[in-house]
Structures are given as C-alpha cells and as structure tokens.
C-alpha cells in the first residue's frame, strides 16, 4: 500500500503518486475569476503577526479550497492574497522585518476582503490619501476585517457606527472614545457584524480569519487550514452551528468532489473510487475524476484498474503530466518496469517538473539506479 506522509493528510486533493505528492497541474497560475481578492494592508510599524497570521490563513485556505473545489465550478485558488500600502516602498515590521508591498493604493486590485492589521495604526489614520482609498474600498468590499488597533481605521471611516466591535485589550477605552456610536466589547476574540469583522490583538487575527474562511468556504476547509497550521482552533458552539460543512459556493458536482476529498482523509479508498468513478461517468470531458480514480484504485491494490484509469486520464491535457506519473507508479507495482519508464518519459515530456517527488516515490524505488531513470531525472 502507498505510504502517506504529512502533506497527504493536509492536502487530500493532492495527487498521490507512491509516497510522493504533487499538486494537480490542471490549475493555471494566478487567480481565477471566482477567487476572492484579499488585500492585506501594510505600513511602517505594522504588527508582524497581525498581518502574517491572517495572511497565512488565507494563503493556506486558498490552496485547500482549490483542491476541494476542483472542477466543481471553481477550480482555481479560492483567495488571491496580496499586500497593499500607501506606496510600494519597503516597510519595516516589528523593527526588523523588511517587506515590499505588492501594490500601492494607486494600482491595487479592488479587494473583496480587506485586512487592516494593528501596530502603529495612526500612520494609516493620519494619511489622508490612504483614508480616502480605504473608505471607498470598504464600501465595495464583501468583508473588511481589522486586527488589533486596525479597528481604528474602521472607526475613522464610520464603519463601526451602530455595530459591536472589539480590539486589543489595551486599546478598548480609546476605541470607545474614537467610535462613540459603536458598542466596544472586551474579552472577545472576534466579532462578526457581516461586512465588518473586528478581532482582538495579534494572534486573534488568526481566529478571525479562520472564522471568515469557514463562513465563506465551509467548515471543512477551515478545519484543514487550522490543521495544516497546527493551530488549535475551536470555534464557539454558537458560531460552529452556522458554518456549512462543505463550501457553499460549489455546485453539486463540486460538493461531490469535496466529499470525496474528505473520504480520502479517512483513507476510505473503496468509497473514494466509487465516487470518482461516478463523477468520471457523469462528465467524460473532465479528466480530474479519472486521475483521482486511478490514485484511489492504486491504494486499494487494484493496479490493473489504476492503470486503465490513468491511461484514460492521459488523454486530458489539464492532468496529463500527473496522470503519466500515476500510471508509471501503477506499472511498477504491476511488475511492468519498461512500461513505467516509458510513462515517466511521457510525463516529463508533458511538463512534469517535481523531480524531488519522483526521487522520493516509494513505488518508483525499484527504478532507482537504472541509467534510464537517472537520465529522466536529469531532464527535469
């Protein structure tokens, strides 16, 4: 049986090839039209974890949600994460980390989600150009999220008026003075008011971001993200019951694919194979279910079936490189070394580039040391 390593548990939608893993190559670089644009605001003196914590959450969730959403109406990354500042000049966080923003407020893409971290937030509220930009951005954004004293930016735009909000424990009194029309609450990790989400200090931004991922992409994606980050996330019961388990933005096919990915988490390979076989039969123009079917059958020990499914998957350009590698692994397990080497040659010709994964693949171990195998590796 193929061994699983830690990345398999984190990203069940990765392509399992022996013990090595590869992200499916059917996802083009860059955000899809369905990706939510997440703008993380930077400025001199910004608190490091205030922006890095949510940034980590959205970046990891983007990959995980893409895996789970694959071919289900949203087959690219769920979040397009970028940084924006008043200018593109490097800023310094925490007195030692130099960061160059991706965009300035003059050329940043319109965000769907804005993250306003704390620290020296007065440098934002005292900047008329930034406040003009952020006021307009908040009006159009799906969600505006503050961390720590980033709440003062929301307060100065009037976004907290008539709402409950929170901030870092040391700034609550000042926020009450700044936003007298808001209900500022102590002792809450985050408060969700729909389009406005405020969090307490520093690490609380991680909780707020995970909550937002659960709200937008489903509890399963948020749980996987927290597990990848090894972060102890236990949402409060009154909130947990409001989360959809599956990504609410998916169509029925996407939900079926997400269920299959969850079965892969449980190593229920026989059931996984049934789901992917049904999906492959439903849409014969989609090679992704065939590829995953091959992987599932490989896990069950049905190498003949895995070979058949992987062969069929090689007809689809979007999964072709990974399909050839999956086929090579099955060939080795079936005792067909020559066919395995030919399949690897096809994989590399089709653009497979994960050299390290081939070197670490348990299934391909019998080929190591053979001159042809080493020559193929040298081509990557």
Q: What is the pLDDT of residues 250-283, one digit of tens each?
A: 888 888 888 888 888 888 899 999 999 999 999 8
Q: Residues 321-337: what's their mean pLDDT?
A: 96
CA distance 275 to 292: 10
Q: Residue 61 above 50 pLDDT?
A: yes
pLDDT of amino acid 74 = 41
CA distance 356 to 22: 10
Q: Residues 71-83: what's their mean pLDDT?
A: 70
17-21, 113-117, 171-175: lowest mean pLDDT where? Answer: 17-21
Looking at every residue in the chain, the average pLDDT score rounds to 88
Q: What is the pLDDT of residues 186-197, one digit of tens each?
A: 999 999 999 999
Q: What is the pLDDT of residues 345-376, one digit of tens each?
A: 999 999 999 999 899 999 999 999 899 999 99
Name the segment(s) of the chain with CATH classification 1.25.40.10.
Answer: 252-378
* pTM (2 d.p.): 0.78
Query: CA nearest 328: which of 315, 316, 337?
Result: 337
Q: What is the pLDDT of residues 207-250, one digit of tens each?
A: 999 999 999 999 999 999 999 999 999 998 888 889 999 988 88
Cβ atoms of 17 and 319 within 8 Å: the answer is no
pLDDT of amino acid 209 = 98
Cβ atoms of 50 and 58 within 8 Å: the answer is no
pLDDT of amino acid 76 = 56
CA distance 55 to 46: 13
pLDDT of amino acid 67 = 57
Q: Residue 10 above 80 pLDDT?
A: no
Indicate the angle between helix axes 269-282 and 252-265, nearest 10 degrees. Answer: 160
CATH 3.40.50.880 fits 27-240, yes or no: yes
CA distance 13 to 288: 11
Residue 73 main-chain phi, psi, to 5 deg: 100, -10
Query: CA nearest 294: which of 279, 278, 281, 313?
Result: 313
Q: Residue 27 above 90 pLDDT?
A: no
pLDDT of amino acid 237 = 87
pLDDT of amino acid 359 = 93
Sequence-separated (6 or more) residues with CB below 8 Å from residue 255 = 72, 246, 247
Q: Residues 3-21: what's their mean pLDDT?
A: 34
Sign of CA dihedral 270, 275, 278, 280: negative
The full 3-state SS of 236-251, as one line of letters, equals CHHHHCCCCCCCCCCC
Q: Residues 136-163: what's their mean pLDDT?
A: 98
Higher pLDDT among residues 17 and 171, named by residue:
171
Q: Residue 29 above 70 pLDDT?
A: no
Q: Report DSSP letters for 248-299, one per residue.
A: TT--HHHHHHHHHHHHHHTT-HHHHHHHHHHHHHH-TT--HHHHHHHHHHHH
Q: Residues 325-348: what's their mean pLDDT?
A: 97
Q: Report DSSP letters for 112-175, one per residue.
A: SEEEE--BSTHHHHT-HHHHHHHHHHHHH-SEEEEEGGGHHHHHHTTTTTTSEE---GGGHHHH
Name the segment(s) of the chain with CATH classification 3.40.50.880.
Answer: 27-240
Token pair 């605001």 is found at 41
pLDDT of amino acid 15 = 37
Q: What is the DSSP letter of 365?
A: G
Sequence-separated (6 or more) residues with CB below 8 Å from residue 39 = 82, 83, 84, 103, 108, 109, 111, 113, 114, 115, 137
CATH 1.25.40.10 fits 252-378, yes or no: yes
230: left (phi over 0), alpha (psi -120 to 50) or beta: left
CA distance 101 to 88: 5
Q: Helix %, strand %, coil % for the chain, to 5?
A: 50, 15, 40
């Amino acid at each position: 049986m193929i061994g699983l390593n830690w990345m398999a548990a984190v990203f069940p939608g990765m392509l399992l090839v022996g013990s090595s893993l590869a992200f499916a190559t059917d996802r083009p670089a860059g955000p899809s039209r369905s990706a939510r644009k997440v703008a993380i605001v930077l400025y001199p003196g910004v608190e490091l974890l205030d922006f890095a914590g949510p940034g980590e959450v959205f970046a990891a969730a983007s990959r995980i949600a893409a895996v789970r959403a694959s071919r289900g109406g949203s087959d690219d990354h769920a979040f397009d994460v970028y940084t924006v500042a008043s200018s593109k000049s490097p800023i310094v966080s925490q007195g030692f980390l130099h960061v160059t923003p991706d965009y300035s407020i003059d050329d940043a893409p319109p965000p769907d989600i804005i993250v306003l971290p704390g620290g020296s937030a007065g440098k934002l509220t005292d900047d008329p150009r930034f406040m003009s930009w952020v006021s307009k951005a908040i009006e159009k954004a799906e969600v505006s999220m503050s961390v720590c004293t980033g709440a003062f930016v929301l307060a100065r735009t009037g976004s907290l008026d008539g709402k409950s909000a929170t901030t870092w424990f040391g700034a609550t009194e000042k926020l009450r003075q700044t936003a007298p029309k808001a209900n500022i609450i102590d002792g809450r990790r985050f408060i969700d008011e729909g389009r406005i989400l405020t969090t307490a200090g520093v690490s609380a931004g991680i909780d707020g971001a995970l909550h937002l991922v659960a709200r937008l992409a489903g509890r399963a994606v948020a749980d996987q993200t927290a597990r990848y980050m090894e972060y102890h996330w236990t949402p409060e019961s009154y909130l947990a019951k409001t989360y959809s388990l599956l990504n609410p933005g998916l169509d029925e096919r996407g939900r079926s694919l997400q269920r299959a990915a969850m079965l892969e988490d449980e190593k229920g390979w026989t059931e996984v194979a049934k789901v992917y076989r049904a999906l492959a039969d439903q849409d014969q123009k989609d090679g992704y279910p065939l590829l995953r079917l091959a992987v599932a059958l490989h896990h069950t020990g049905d190498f003949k079936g895995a070979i058949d499914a992987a062969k069929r998957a090689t007809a689809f350009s979007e999964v072709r490189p990974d399909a050839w590698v999956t086929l090579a692994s099955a060939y080795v397990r079936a005792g067909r070394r020559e066919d395995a080497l030919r399949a690897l040659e096809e994989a590399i010709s089709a653009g497979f580039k994960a050299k390290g994964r081939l070197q670490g693949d348990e299934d391909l171990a019998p080929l190591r040391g053979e001159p042809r195998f080493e020559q193929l590796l040298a081509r990557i």
